[in-house]
Structures are given as structure tokens and as C-alpha cells.
Chains A and B, each alone.
Chain A
Amino acid sequence: MPVGLLESLRAALPHVSGFIYPNELELQWSVLIVLYPYITGLVAGAFILASLERVFNVAAVKPTYRLSLLTALAFLLIAPLPLQAHLGHPERSYEIFMTPNPSSAMAMFGFVYLWYLMAVLLMEIWLDYRREIVEWSQTEPFWPKRLFYKLLTFGVTNLSPRSLEIDDKLGKAITVIGLPSAVLLHGYVGFIFGSVKANPWWSTPLMPVIFLFSAMASGIAGVLLIYMFLCRVRREPIDMPCLDTVAKYLLTAIIVAFSLEMLESLQTAYEAKEHFDIISLLVEGKLFISMVLVQIFLGSLVPLAILGLNQIHLFPERVRRVCYAVSAGLSLVGILAMRWNVVMGGQLFSKSLRGFTTYKLELVGREGLLAAAAIGVMPLFALGALLYLLPPWPAGGDPMRTR
């Protein structure tokens, strides 16, 4: 018997308000399941920023192209971790590949993830870096690194103009396929929630779209901050036209995401179906701080105001940089809060619509705050490793040259 779990459930019992079905005391999905959509959202968002340059020829964001791809890869590599940590039997997780249930959105995860990782992201990065990889496989002094590059060449060192041209064309085609793949990678997560008819907080056709656009905002914001940080660390000047363009796309993504969320809330309030009473109590009570204050005000309205102001008036560079950094940071926090509000909010009220249970985020333990924080920062370490192995801006090279 897991004594710690039972103790915490017993402690939670007196904090139930109203009536809940007896099995609803224990929340099924913890903070780890808040993290997972956040991480895959960053993957999708970063990739879409990369595709802006490659597919839509937005030349201004070129300096962030490789960084976006590496960021997407770093977060993608860590994405399965919160899921594995949460499962009752992680050693059986391979079953998702062996006997996937065709009617289950969650069963898609294994194949969509593998497809996106192998066929899209890894291929695109490899094709874009191939010239440098071949060069480094011959010039890198540190022998483990040199071996790594040699392996990545697959034994082929041909860098003829024709082969590079083929790489470029193929890379572009992959980016084009990659766009709907990225949409699928994060859209299905939204569908996992949106298709649960049993839960009125989750059940809406808008859920995949809301998830996707807020994911784009988070990915763009993330790459923006990482780019600014890396420029500071490398003591390189920030490419302001690039940053201005990225910030403009961030503003667009926030506008769309926020509009969709507000549309959802407005319609729910207008229709005022049976579940509206309990949901109002939820938003006014347990979710007030995380939803109204953090997600809506700090995470959406403030960045909207700041970024919007920057579209109307051209502030000096220094001021713009501060505006962008603050907006990006607030968006990232706000979008994490949104994932929290969706996942936890949907479990806090009873399906009898008559009461609330309670959630206590433990500090330690497999699904505690420390574990979540550790998993949360791991992608940054993964990115560090990728930046070391595949520097987007080769020393002495032109930062604008990406291929």
C-alpha cells in the first residue's frame, strides 16, 4: 500500500466542498501532465518560427532559423519524460507502438512523435547542417566530437554543388511536410482534452486550435528569449530587424490565442448550460489567481499591450529589447498557467457538478514540484548540448549564413 499517497488523500478528504463522486477525490493527472502539453507546444511553436523563414521566405528571421530547429529538437527529446514519470507502468509504454487503439487520440502519440522526430526534425537539421558536419568531421580537434560528426556523415563526404542543391530542395520539402506534422504533434494533445465529452471544462471543438495557437506563442516567445540570451552570452549584437519581426509574430500569435480563449469563455457564459454554475465557481474561486490574474491579465493582456504599443510607436532599441523580453517572459508564464488551468481546472470540480475536490502539489515524489521543475529545465540543458555539438553560428562565420 502506498502509505504516502493514502495519507495525502486522507488529508484531502475534509477539504472537499459540496459533493463529489467518491472516486473523484484523487486527481488523476498531475503537474506532469501540465508540463507535457507545454513542452510539445514549445516544440510546435519553435518549429513554426523556423518554417516562417524556410517556407514563407520571411528573410528577417533567418538568424533564428537554426536556433529554432535546435530548440524544437531539445524540447522534443525531453517531451516523453513527464509522460513516462506519470504512467502507472512505464515499462509497458512500448505497448502504444504494439497495440495502439485506433479510436484513441492518445494512441497516436507514439507514431506522431516518432514521425515528427525522425522524418521531420532530425532530417531537416541534418540536411541543413550537412556541409558543416562534413567539414567538422575532418577538422574537429576533440576526437569524440570528431567521431560524432563522422557518424553523422553516414560515411559520405560528397559536398558537390548538386548534392547541396538536392539537400536544400529536400529540406524545403520536409519543412512543408513538417508544418502539418507540427500542427498534428500538438493539435492531437488539444484533441485529447477537447474530445472528452465527460468533462465540460475540456469538451470543445476549439480545444486543438486554442492549444495550437498558444503553443505557437510560447514557442516564438521561447526562441526570442533564448536568442537574446545567447547573443548576450556570445557578446554578439542582436539583429534588431530579426527581433522586431519575431516580436511581431509573437504579437499575432497572442492575439489569435487570446481571442479564441475569450470566444470560448464568452460563448460558455452566453449559453449558460447546466455546467455553467460550477464552472463560474471554479473560475471565481480555485482558478482565480492562475486564470484571471496570471493567464489572462499578466500572460495575455500585458504582453498584448506592450507589443501592441511597439507597433504603434517606434521606441529606441534598448526599450524595444526590454519590451520584447518582458512580453516573451510573461507569455511563457501565462501559457504555462493556461495548461495548468485546463488540466487541473478540469479535475477540480466534480462531474456531478455539485462540488470540488482539492489538489496539493507535493514538493518531493515522482509527481512533485521538484520533479516537475527538473523536467522543466532539462530541455534547456539538452539545448546546451545541441548548441555545443551543432553550433548554429560557427565561429568566425557569417551569422546570417545558415546554409
Chain B
Amino acid sequence: MRDVEHLVRVAGVFVLVISAFLIARHFLVPETFGKYGHYRAAAATEMGSLPLRYAGEPACLRCHAEQAKAKAGGGHRGVHCESCHGALEAHAQDPKAAQASKPGEAQMRAFCGSCHAKDISRPAKFPQQDLEQHNPGMPCSQCHNPHNPKP
């Protein structure tokens, strides 16, 4: 025994270190870890609680049924409101405090052109115009109702 005493003491240190580790583990591993898999289950809940910025079209229909009806019958029926009007959750929560954005006449050709300017990369059947030839300088809304843009 005398001849291995030094080894016994070192072994004791090892046992101490491992015990300390196991005890630490009890406190340091998050509570929901491992519930559904090798991850902290609460993390998914946290991701699910992040704030909304876009309201989604059904929210707009509550107040803007008239525009919705116009849109449903025209070429823009597949274009959701926020595609042109930007993120509207703030507006849906408090319409007076947060105004919806609308492209003004000065920016209109560039704005509508971002989808409809003629471009060989776009599908050929998609409605597009060469904006330098097509009524140059005129704001699009003069002839096209944005909610029902019959040519």
C-alpha cells in the first residue's frame, strides 16, 4: 500500500474532478434541453414569439374590403397588399399612428417597373413593357388602377 499511496492520492483527485464536473452539469444544462431532441426546447418557443412586421393579407381585408374586391377581379389578384405597401403589422395594430406607404407619382415608374419593366430574364408571358417607349414620363396610375390594372 505504501508503494502505491501516491497513485491512490492522484486517483482521488481524479474522482474529485469528475464529481465536480457531474455536479456542475446538473446546474449548467438548461432545463428544457433534450425534451424533443438534442436541443433546448424553449429555443423553438422563443423563435415562435418574435415580433411580426408583415400583417398578412387577411389582416388588410378587415378594413379595406373595397380595394380587396377590386383586386380580386383583376391581374393583381395574386399580388398581396404588402408586396406594394410594405410591412403593415404596425398599421394593422394602429392605423392612425402608422400610415401605410404608397408609391408617389415621382417614384411610380421605377416602382411599377421593378416588376413590369421589360427584361429578357423574365418569363416571356409575364406582362412587361419597355418603359422608355411606353408613355415615357407618365406616372403609371394615370392609366392603370393599381388594384385592378386593366391595360
Contacts and interface: CB of A to CB of B under 8 A. Distances in A.
A161 to B, nearest CB: 9
Contacts of B4: 163, 166
Contact of B33 (A94, A99, A118, A163): A99
Contacts of B9: 154-156
Interface string B21-40: 10011001110010000100
Contact of B29 (A98, A126, A130): A98
B6 A158 contact: yes
Interface string B106-134: 00000000000000000000000000000
Given A99-B33, A102-B38, A118-B14, A154 B3 contact: no
B25 A153 contact: no
A267 B38 CA distance: 38
Interface in A151-167: 153-156, 158, 160, 162-163, 166
A158 B5 contact: yes
A153 B6 CA distance: 8
A257 to B, nearest CB: 36
Interface in A95-153: 97-99, 101-102, 118, 123, 126, 130, 153
B101 to A, nearest CB: 25
B2 interface: yes
Q: Is the interface of B mostly helix, strand, loop or mixed?
A: helix
B2 A160 contact: yes
Contact of A154 (B10, B17, B28): B10
8 contacts: A99-B29, A130-B6, A153-B6, A154-B9, A158-B3, A158-B5, A163-B2, A163-B3
Contacts of A126: 10
Interface residues of B, number: 19
Interface string B138-150: 0000000000000
Contacts of A326: none
Nearest to A164: B3
B79 interface: no
Contacts of B33: 99
A170 B2 CA distance: 16
Interface in B79-115: none
B7 interface: yes
Contact of B28 (A98, A153, A162, A163): A98
Interface of B: 2-7, 9-10, 13-14, 17, 21, 24-25, 28-30, 33, 38
Contacts of A102: 38
Question: Top 9 closest A-B pairs, CB basis?
Answer: A156-B6, A163-B3, A154-B9, A162-B3, A98-B28, A98-B29, A156-B5, A101-B38, A154-B6
A153 to B, nearest CB: 7
B124 to A, nearest CB: 25
A126 B13 CA distance: 14
A158 to B, nearest CB: 6
Interface residues of A, number: 20
Nearest to B14: A118
A167 B24 CA distance: 32
Interface string A166-196: 1000100000000000000000000000000
B28 to A, nearest CB: 5
Contacts of A156: 5-6, 9
Contacts of B7: 166, 170
A158 B14 contact: no
Contacts of B14: 118
Nearest to B25: A98
A102 B38 CA distance: 9
Contacts of A130: 6
B22 to A, nearest CB: 11
Contacts of A166: 3-4, 7
Contact of A123 (B10, B24, B25, B30): B10
Interface core residue of B9, B10, B13 (most chain A CB under 10 Å): B10
A123 B7 CA distance: 10
Contacts of A94: 28
Contacts of A153: 6
Contacts of A101: 38
Contacts of B6: 130, 153-154, 156, 158, 163
Contacts of A154: 6, 9-10, 13
Nearest to B30: A99
Contacts of B38: 99, 101-102
Nearest to A107: B38
Interface in A72-110: 94, 97-99, 101-102
Contacts of B28: 94, 98
A118 B11 CA distance: 11
B3 A97 contact: no
